[in-house]
Structure 1
Amino acid sequence: MLAVDIGREFVRLALADLVGDIAARRDEPRKGGETPDELVASLAELTRELADEAGASVGDITLTVFGTPGIHDKETSSLQLAPNLPGWERTGAVELLAGVAAGAPYVVENDVDLAALGEGAYGYGQGVAHFALVWIGTGIGMGIVIDGRLYRGAQGAAGEISYLPVGEGDPLVNRGRGMLESVASADGVVALATRLGMRGVTSAKDVFDAARAGDPIADRVLATEADHIAHALAGVIAVLDPELVVLGGGIGVQAGDLLIGPVTDCLRDLVALRVPMIRASGLGTEAVLLGAMAVGLTTARDLVFERAVAQLPAG
């Protein structure tokens, strides 16, 4: 089976056998301004290269699982709420993905939902019945696991917490991004640091590195980020009552050591009962791909079994 993570800056692909052993793997930077057709053509070429490397053919791929930003609208075969993938909101765009693995069955899942499944299969979520993975990076989202199962909601949009009304208003909201995402994503962190007078800041990592070095402005940005995250989590905790909250994404992983303490302290004043355990994901950039593997292996094994049964002689 083939697992594909389509991110804002990278695409990651892994080709695995039905045991789960990875036969070939590739991480490639994305080209700016790609159309859906161009991205699919690039993925198809990478898939052919992986198959060659594994000593197989594209036709041997049983199933492909794609992790993408946004929500897969099955009625229009498009991606909604995915501003980092321009053009995919058009009707029929998702159907282009069928060309990546030569028409074999494929599944399209929200990338943060897959990250939550990856956390449940390989990370801190193992054995935890109720948990949420909160993704904080170039975008913000949440994957929800209830009774050990992914919760998608009526429209597949459960966990779109980027639209929570947390934080002050910001022009980024008018560019298709929700209020929380506009202030607490990587761009929001950089924007706040710049407004407060930090020089030469080009990434959220720059800000958090400066906070570790004791920069007072970076400390203010960190405190504000922790406050935004805590207020968002207070709403999540009040509704879902999770045992565990895992912080993922670039900020959640890279700055988890800086954020967990202040977020937990703030939550003690915001929630009615015990604050759930909060952890920074140990899966890093692999979370979405591992979630796609977890989904794909189960489904691919079922497909192979069904085909084998169908070929048995009658009687």
Structure 2
Amino acid sequence: ADLDGTLVARSDVRNRARGSGAMADLLVATARQVVADSGVDPAEVVHGVVGTPGVYDERQRRVRYAMHLPGWGRAGLLDRMREELGVPLEVHNDANLAALGEYTYGVGAGSRLFAYIMIGTGLGMGVVSEGRLFTGAHGLAGEIGFLPWPGRRRGPERLEDAVSGVAVAETARRLGMSGQLTAKSVFDAARQGDPAAVEAVRLEGERIAHTVAAAAAVLDPDLVVLGGGVGHSVDLLLRPVREHLRTLTPLRPKLAPSRLGEDAVLLGAVATALGTARDLVFERRSDGS
């Protein structure tokens, strides 16, 4: 992106890496290709931002709690990426970046305090208060997937086990659907009126309502945005979420679908990078370098 925030080159690549090292290599190769496609001299690129599940530990210089990316928390992995790219890299939680992107470019603009609930492979939440991310004392604010949930399995279960794309597919299978199920295929079947899929979507709406109720009680947001892979099917979810929320709590913040869709994390990364990049470029020009 240039200093106005305009995207000048972009690449969307499916992750087929089988390990964290291969995924890091893929990221580095993709970033290099994007710079080459932009026509910009690599020396002119001043800053980069990585969005990732989990929480970046500044002291240990590694990602923690990225449960769905085995090995991604390995020490030295991100330092290696920094060295190979030759660019300073900030690392941020993807839900936090999505929230910042939605505040800067999307439906959250002007909100005093809003929560972006990202529902996809996992479950996370980003919180923007007065235009700034709220991340807590250790960067863990918004890790709502770790909240306890009274599930069907033996032993403790987390909210993420009930509110995620995987949970939608598991519920649909339990209700009688068969085949290779994904959240997308279940939502598509619900749009066609499949009874099991319709019930799975209704149950997902109830669980999301519990998530919204928890956020409302703790944060008092004026807006809650639903995003992520499951959030893209918000046309089916908003009604059951709102209906069940009325039975759970008198606290009912405004609900809205993400306006940025799959680009929320990307645009949040751009907004974050611009804050640093503009200062760096100004300093370079001021000292004549």
Listed as ranges, the matches of 1:125-274 within 5 Å are 125-170=108-153, 179-253=158-232, 255-273=233-251
**Structure 1 stretches lacking a partner, 5+ long:** 1-15
Paired residue for 1:101, among 67, 85, 98? Answer: 85
Alignment partners' CA distance in 2, 1:152 and 1:301: 23
Q: Residue in 1 aligned with 2:93?
A: 110
Residue 27 (1) aligns with residue 19 (2): no
Alignment partners' CA distance in 2, 1:125 and 1:262: 22
Q: Residue in 2 aligned with 1:63?
A: 47
Partner SS, residue 108 of structure 1: strand
Alignment partners' CA distance in 1, 2:30 and 2:55: 24
CA pair 49-91 structure 1, distance change in 2 beyond 3 A: closer
Alignment partners' CA distance in 2, 1:41 and 1:101: 11
The letter of the residue matching 1:106 is L
Partner SS, residue 27 of structure 1: coil
* Contact preservation (8 Å) 2:223, 2:254: yes
Alignment partners' CA distance in 1, 2:179 and 2:11: 32
TM-score for both structures, normalised by structure 1: 0.86
Write the deviation string for residues 251-291 of structure 1: whole angstroms up to 9, x where unpaired: 111x2011111111111222234x11111112111110000
Q: CA RMSD in A?
A: 1.8
The letter of the residue matching 1:153 is G
Partner SS, residue 237 of structure 1: helix
Write the deviation string for residues 30-68 of structure 1: whole angstroms up to 9, x where unpaired: 1231333x2232222222222222222322211001111
* Contact preservation (8 Å) 1:164, 1:232: no
Q: Residue in 2 aligned with 1:48?
A: 32
Alignment partners' CA distance in 1, 2:288 and 2:93: 34
**Structure 2 stretches lacking a partner, 5+ long:** none
Alignment partners' CA distance in 1, 2:29 and 2:131: 36
* Contact preservation (8 Å) 1:132, 1:142: yes
The letter of the residue matching 1:305 is F
* Contact preservation (8 Å) 2:17, 2:26: no
* Contact preservation (8 Å) 2:146, 2:158: yes
CA shift for structure 1 position 100: 4.5
CA pair 81-124 structure 1, distance change in 2 beyond 3 A: same
CA pair 45-93 structure 1, distance change in 2 beyond 3 A: closer
TM-score for both structures, normalised by structure 2: 0.94
CA shift for structure 1 position 244: 0.5
CA shift for structure 1 position 167: 4.5
Partner SS, residue 109 of structure 1: strand
Alignment partners' CA distance in 2, 1:44 and 1:197: 43
Residue 279 (1) aligns with residue 264 (2): no
Alignment partners' CA distance in 1, 2:152 and 2:17: 28
Partner SS, residue 231 of structure 1: helix
* Contact preservation (8 Å) 2:17, 2:23: no
The letter of the residue matching 2:246 is R
Alignment partners' CA distance in 1, 2:244 and 2:61: 42
Residue 84 (1) aligns with residue 50 (2): no
Alignment partners' CA distance in 2, 1:97 and 1:235: 37
Alignment partners' CA distance in 1, 2:78 and 2:167: 30
CA shift for structure 1 position 112: 0.7
